[in-house]
Every structure is written in structure tokens, then in C-alpha cells.
Structure 1
Amino acid sequence: MQVQLETLGALERRLDIALPLADIDAEVKKRLGRVARTAKVAGFRPGKAPLKIVEQNYGASVREEVLGEQVQIGFSRAVAEQSLRVAGYPRFEPVAAEGASADHFKFSALFEVYPEVKIGDVAGQELEKAVCEVTEAEIDKTIDILRKQRTRFNRVERAAADGDRVIIDFKGVIDGEAFAGGSSENFPFVLGQGQMLPEFETGVIGLKEGESRDVEVSFPDDYHGKEVAGKKAVFTISVKNVAEAVLPELDDAFAKALGIVDGDVAKMRAEIEKNVKREVVRRLAARNKEAVMEALISVSELDLPQSLVQVEIGRLMQQAQEDFARRGLDTKSMPQLPPELFKDQAERRVKLGLILSELVKANELKATAEQVKARVEEFADSYEHPAEVVKWYYESPERLDGPESMVLEDNVVEFVFGKAKVTEKAVSFDELMGNA
């Protein structure tokens, strides 16, 4: 085998490889002999056709198969000989052989290699590490949210007030003309939750069941409905039902509704506290990990293999399609999303993957079996039968890839925080949970 390496760019390489045709012909002949033992050829019993006829029927496909295998084998050997780390998939191109080289099958392999990753001094980085304390007040707030999620509405005969659910008919006109989306019947909404424009809600407050009122409403200039943005409308609103919110009592029935079999309110509170603290830890970890990743990107230098970026773009596009399908959308009738939409995200993912790989290797931050097991048990703890979840993970080694990757990232985060100049920043519970 003859090999010649050419550098085409920072990461682009080309290998020109020549394979002896004699070796290829010998392998083709050997395989045709195996094929002849069972080949079905018209006019002959299976396995009894002459080799020449077998070659006429199967020779082209067998030769194509052998060439494909020999190209892969030859490329792998050449890469090993040249000590190359190939990124992505190579592109193979046949090369016409002439003269003395006609006794070789020549092809070129074009590919990228992994870049050299230079990670700067993270010790000079100033990082904020988010912290959040979970107190009894946060547990109370969470319980209140759970109660509100189970709100019942009871019909009342009084005037509508903030917090009530109303069912209304309404008809709107602009300059005396009806407009699209300006009317509805039996429309329910809860006053004070911002579902309708403020002027509209103010016009409903004070009305009893069976009463009506004309209300003037100004649509904001940036209103999502462009045809009415910046205009004034008059709505005739008729109230058909007023119902006040009734929160469930904090009792055994409520506890049972949340999965506490014996209805023990103290157990319910302890379970909620455990779940809230677990979620706070998860969100803090995600927030701090993002800060570390941004720091690593800022101090690292590397060229990005575009082949890996393209693979990642394809993966992101596939994930988007699967997400649409899970939401019940007809993905077959949807136009394909443009790859450019995912380019920035793909580049960031590839860059981080290369940086983390180098950091883990250089500082021996690999995940230990104990760390992976602890992470799996942490996952399992949120399920009804944790032991069965742990067993499921360990039944197949590839199922541990996810927990192992997370532990690796945790190790990187801890390593960087241990080197950088870190300042703790208190984050409120509401901000962390997205309620601010």
C-alpha cells in the first residue's frame, strides 16, 4: 500500500492511497468461489453453475463490495501509520491510474483532523457561583402553588372581583366595524391573571351574572395582532357566570391527592421539601455549569472541524423534528428547518465538547464508578421504586452514558471553581425557579 499525506488547511487533510490490484483481484476471486457454492443461476442447480457464469452474474457486486471494504481498511491503516485523529467522516474519491500505476487502485480520502485545543489559565477568571437557601417560607410558597393548581370555582351571585373566574360573551368593533378575533361566546378567564388587556378586565370587574357593559379598549402599538395594534375598540361584554376561587384545605385529602397514601400532612411537607431542595440543587448546578462553560470558551483557542459541526447540526435538526412530533404536529407536511438555524448552537456544542475532552484528559477528571452510581441513585430517588430504576440502568452499559457524561461535567465544574476566583452570589428562590 502506498500512502501520501497532504495538508490542505488548518484541519483539512488528504490521503492519497494506492492499493495493489493483485490483492483486490485475489480477494474477489476468493469470494466468488464462496458465492459459487450456493449461487442460484438459471439453468443450473444451486451451487453447480460454472465459476465463469457465476462471475458474469455476481462479479460486479462482489468487486464493489471488496473495493468498499479495502478502501475502509486501507484508510484505517494509513491513518494509523500517520498517527492522525480523524474528525467526522472522510470523503473518498477514486483517482484514475495511468502507466506504471495501473496495477494499483488509487483513491483519495479528504477529511479533517481534531484540532489542538489550547486552554488558557482559568485561575485568572472571576466567576460568580450562584447559591440559594431554601427556608420554610419557600416550602410554604410551593405548597400554596400546589393548592392553587387544584383550585375549584364555585358560582356566586355577587359582582365579579379580582381572582374570580368569569364566563362572558363579547363583541368588539373598531370604528363601528367588527374585526377578526373581536368576538366570542362562553369565553372563560380568571380576572387578575393578565389573560386579557387591563382595560378589558377592568370593564368586567363589578358586573354580576346577567349584566352587560360597553368598554373602550386601546390596543398597544406592539400588540401581537398587527391589524388592530395601536387602535381603539369598543367591546360589548355580557357576563354569563361569576365563580370565586376555592383553594383545597391543607388536610389529609390534599396530602393524599399529592401521593401521600396515609394522608399525613407532615409527611407531605417533608416530601415537598425534599423535592424542592432537589430541584434547587439541579437548577443551581445548571446555572453554575453555564458560567463555567462560558469561562472555558473565553480562555480557549481552537479551530472547529466543520465536519463535526455538520454532524451536530444534523443531530439538532433531528431532535427538533422529534420534539415537534411529540407535540402532535404533522412533521411530514412541515417544511424542513434551515440548517443555518442550528449553526451557532452546533458550533458551541462542538467547541465545548472538544474543550471538555481536553480538560478531562489533561487533569484526569474522569468519572469514577462510585460517582456514576451515586448519580444513578439520585435519579432513581425521585421514582416510586428506586431499586428497579437503578437495576434498569445497570442492565445495559450504554444506559450509563448519560449519568457518566453528567458526572464528567460536574467534575469539570468543580475543577474550574477550584482554580478560578470565585464569588458566591445569593439568588432568590423566585428568580431561580423563574417566578421573578
Structure 2
Amino acid sequence: MQVTETLNEGLKRGYTITLTADELDAKVNEKLAEAQPEVEMKGFRKGKVPMALLKKQFGQRVLGEAMQESVDGAMNAHFEETGDKPAMQPAVNMVDGETWKEGDDVVVEMSYEKLPEIPEVDLKSIKLEKMVAKAGDDAVEEALANLAETAQDFEAKDGAAEDGDQVVIDFLGKIDGEAFDGGAAEDYPLVLGSNSFIPGFEEQLVGVKAGDEKNVEVSFPEEYGAENLAGKAAVFECKIKEVKAPKAAEIDDELAKKFGAEDLAALKAQIAERLEAEYAGAARAVMKRKLLDALDETVSFELPPSLVEAEAGQIAHQLWHEEHPDHQGHDHDKIEPTDEHNKLAERRVKLGLLLAELGQKAEVEVTDQEMTQAVMNQARQYPGQERQFFEFVQQNPQMQQQLRAPIFEDKVVDYVFELAEVSEVETTKEDLQKAVEELEDE
């Protein structure tokens, strides 16, 4: 087997692999000899079929396997010897494949871009600031007020019903003058604007008063669940028994107990803890961006063009769909990346390779438990189809990698944080929010 270099330019490599006819024939004979003891054929005892007959019967089938195994073996030996790691799957083409015949040498061309050498990074020299915001009394009180609003009650009011009010009604629904099953209720509490009834129903009750009677005329949606009602016009005879205005719950110990706390002080402590956890998460996102910026500025190495090109294409495609949300399919013209897309792709590829190298050297691993949790979190987006999603992930290595990658990246970032020189800087919720918004604008 002969391997000859044909290209060595930057990260690009090209080789010609030559497998002589004699080497291929020897490989075929070797595979046939391995199989001979188990071969049974009419007129011969098991394991006693002559090699010449085996070659005539199975030679063509074994030939392709021998050729593939020989070329794969040569490629693996090459990568082991050179230490090259291909950035993407190598391109492999058989020379004169259409005219090749048994007895000819096998000549294969292999080309790839190798991953670059990543320079050492002095992580201890990196200086970062960690924004620390405390949950002040104003923030806690604001959160308490929001909780009280979600726990709101309703109290009777005089006058006309407004959007957001609750009306207590008796109703009877009819189609073509005939009542239908499921179309009646008594003392039903309906919050106007909740969109809990079919479109057009609640809007017609705005302005009613206690004691009023009103016929609400609506049409069931075409895609309504009950086929006997879908698309049909209906009249609901409504009697308004009460009109109630929303009333926020009192901020007291009783409210606290509704949310599982012993008293108001305990609830405030829980809220403060939750807010500061949110602030810490936001501060980490800001510090992570600063770290990536620092690594991008201080570390430089050659990037595999194929990875940059693929990443730029993906960025351009994703942004195009974000700008055209109504276009769900991919039946559109090819989207050419801009200079901005290419620049962003270069940053992503560089940082991705760098973090991968740092993680490998630090022996960072994603545990089975972390992967299971990630799959569970993703599965929640598909209620009722969680099992099918789990099975899809199990059978799809690409999806597994998509879930594993951000976990691995965050663990590497945390590893760097531990080594870097991090100083805490006290800040306000507003300044932290501004820093987060700046990240989103970039």
C-alpha cells in the first residue's frame, strides 16, 4: 500500500492511496481463508471447500469488502501516523472507478482540511468582572405585587362590565333554534378578555349589567373539535346575574400561604432568593460574553475554510428564516452569506475549536445524567409526545450532539472562570439589565 502526498497548503491536505492488484488479491484470499472453516457446500464437508471454488463462488462479493477495508485501514493508519484530525469528513474518490476491472491497481484520492494546532492559553492571566446585584426592597415589593395580581379575586360592582371584569352568567346555546349538547351552563364565571370562549363571544358581553339578558351571536370555528358544531352559526341566550371587578389579593400572610410560604416574611425571603438567582444567571451571561471576547482577541490560529463556510451558510440561512417567519419550508433560492455572516462564522469556529481543546485537556465530560436532563427539558416542548421525542434522540446522533454541545461549552466556561482572575463589582438591577440588553443587540 502506497500513500503519496499531493497537496500540502495551509490546512489543506491531499493524498493518493495506491493498493496494488497483488495486495488486493492477497486481502481477498485472507478473507476467504478466514471464512473457509464455516463454509458448507454441496459435495464437500464443512470447512473442506477448495479455495479455488470459494474464490469463484464468493470472490466478487469479498472483493468489494476487501477493497473498502484496505482503503479504510490505510486512511486510519495515515491519521494515526500524522496525528491529523480532519475538520470534516474526508473526500474520497476512486480514480478511474468506472473503467476499473479486476486485476488493476486500486488508486484512491483523499483530500481534507485538518484541524489546526491550538496555541496554549494562559487562563490565569485573563481578568474578568462579575456583576453582583442584590434584590432590593423595591424589586421584592414589585414581585410581590405581581404575585398578588396573579392571585386576584373578584368583587361585585355596579355598572357595566369592562374588559377584565368577570360576569356570572346562565347561557343556553342554540343552532337553527334548537339547543345542542354542551351548550348550556348556569352561574358560569367568565372573565372578559380571557379568550376562554369561542371568538367573538366575550366581546359582545362588554357593557352588560347585572340583570341584563343578551343574545350573543357567534360562529364556531371551522376547525372546532366537535364536528357537529364546526363552522355553524349559533345564538347563546345569556342572563347576566353578576358583574365583578378584579381585585388584587391582599399582600399578607394569607397570600404567602397560597404560594407555600409560612408567612409574608418567608415569602419575601424566597422572592429575594429567586431574584438574586436570576440576577446571577444574567451576570454569568455577561461575564461569559466578556470571556469569549477576550479569548477571541488574544488567541489566533488558522481556521479550516470548510468549517467557516459551513457555519456562515448556516448563520445566513437561520437569519433569513427569522426575517421571513411565514416561509416555513426550504424551497427558496440559495442564500449567500454576507461579509458580516463570514466574520461571525470565523469567530464561532475559532471559539468552538478553542473551547473544545480546553475542554479536552481539562477532561471535561458531559455526564449521562446531564444529557438525560437536557433531553427532558427539550421534551417538555412536545406535550403528549415526550416518549416519541426520547426515542428520536436515542436514534439520532446529530440531535444528541446538538443537546450535548451547549452543556459541554458551559462546563468549559465554568472551568475557565475558576482559573481566571475574577473580581466582583456591585451593581444595580437596572445596570445589569442594560448589560444584558447590550448583549442581545450585538
Q: Same fold (TM over 0.5)?
A: yes
Which residue in 1 is equivalent to 2:220?
none
Q: Deviations over 1:270-290 (max 9, x none)?
A: 333333322221121012211
SS class of match (1:78): helix
Question: C-alpha distance in 1, partners of 2:59/2:31?
Answer: 9
Which residue in 1 is equivalent to 2:413?
409
Which residue in 2 is equivalent to 1:147?
148
Matched, 1:280 2:286: no
Question: C-alpha distance in 2, partners of 1:67/1:256?
Answer: 74
Does the CA-based 8 Å contact 2:286-2:436 persist in structure 1?
Answer: no
Which residue in 2 is equivalent to 1:15?
15
Which residue in 2 is equivalent to 1:335?
329
Which residue in 1 is equivalent to 2:433?
431
Structure 1: state its 5+ residue gaps: 168-185, 191-200, 212-239, 321-332, 384-397
SS class of match (1:86): coil
Which residue in 1 is equivalent to 2:4?
4
Question: C-alpha distance in 2, partners of 1:130/1:39?
Answer: 73
Which residue in 2 is equivalent to 1:228?
none
Alignment of 1:29-428 (within 5 A): 29-38=29-38, 54-55=54-55, 58-96=58-96, 104-117=105-118, 129-153=130-154, 156-159=157-160, 188-189=192-193, 243-250=244-251, 254-255=255-256, 257-259=258-260, 263-309=262-308, 335-336=329-330, 347-357=346-356, 366=362, 405-413=409-417, 426-428=428-430
Structure 1's 33 and 291: CA in aligned 2 closer, same or farther, altered over 3 A?
A: same
Counterpart residue type for residue 304 of structure 1: L
Shift of 1:34: 4.0
Structure 1's 28 and 127: CA in aligned 2 closer, same or farther, altered over 3 A?
A: same
Structure 1's 349 and 41: CA in aligned 2 closer, same or farther, altered over 3 A?
A: farther
SS class of match (1:189): coil
Question: C-alpha distance in 2, partners of 1:73/1:266?
Answer: 70
Q: What is the percent sequence identity of the aligned residues?
A: 27
Question: C-alpha distance in 2, partners of 1:151/1:337?
Answer: 49
Question: C-alpha distance in 2, partners of 1:287/1:77?
Answer: 45
Does the CA-based 8 Å contact 1:88-1:311 persist in structure 2?
Answer: no
Structure 1's 128 and 69: CA in aligned 2 closer, same or farther, altered over 3 A?
A: same
Question: C-alpha distance in 2, partners of 1:269/1:292?
Answer: 34
Shift of 1:187: 10
Which residue in 2 is equivalent to 1:391?
none
Question: C-alpha distance in 2, partners of 1:368/1:79?
Answer: 24
SS class of match (1:88): coil
- What RMSD, in angstroms, separates the aligned Cα atoms of the two structures? 5.6
Q: Deviations over 1:268-324 (max 9, x none)?
A: 44333333322221121012211221333244434432444577689999x99xxxx
Question: C-alpha distance in 1, partners of 2:258/2:435?
Answer: 23
Question: C-alpha distance in 2, partners of 1:275/1:145?
Answer: 14
Question: C-alpha distance in 2, partners of 1:153/1:433?
Answer: 40
SS class of match (1:352): helix
SS class of match (1:89): coil
Q: Deviations over 1:242-275 (max 9, x none)?
A: 6532333446664455455xx5554444333333
Structure 1's 2 and 142: CA in aligned 2 closer, same or farther, altered over 3 A?
A: same
Does the CA-based 8 Å contact 2:152-2:247 persist in structure 1?
Answer: yes
Q: Deviations over 1:396-419 (max 9, x none)?
A: xx9998766423212334656559
Which residue in 2 is equivalent to 1:231?
none
Question: C-alpha distance in 2, partners of 1:140/1:337?
Answer: 51
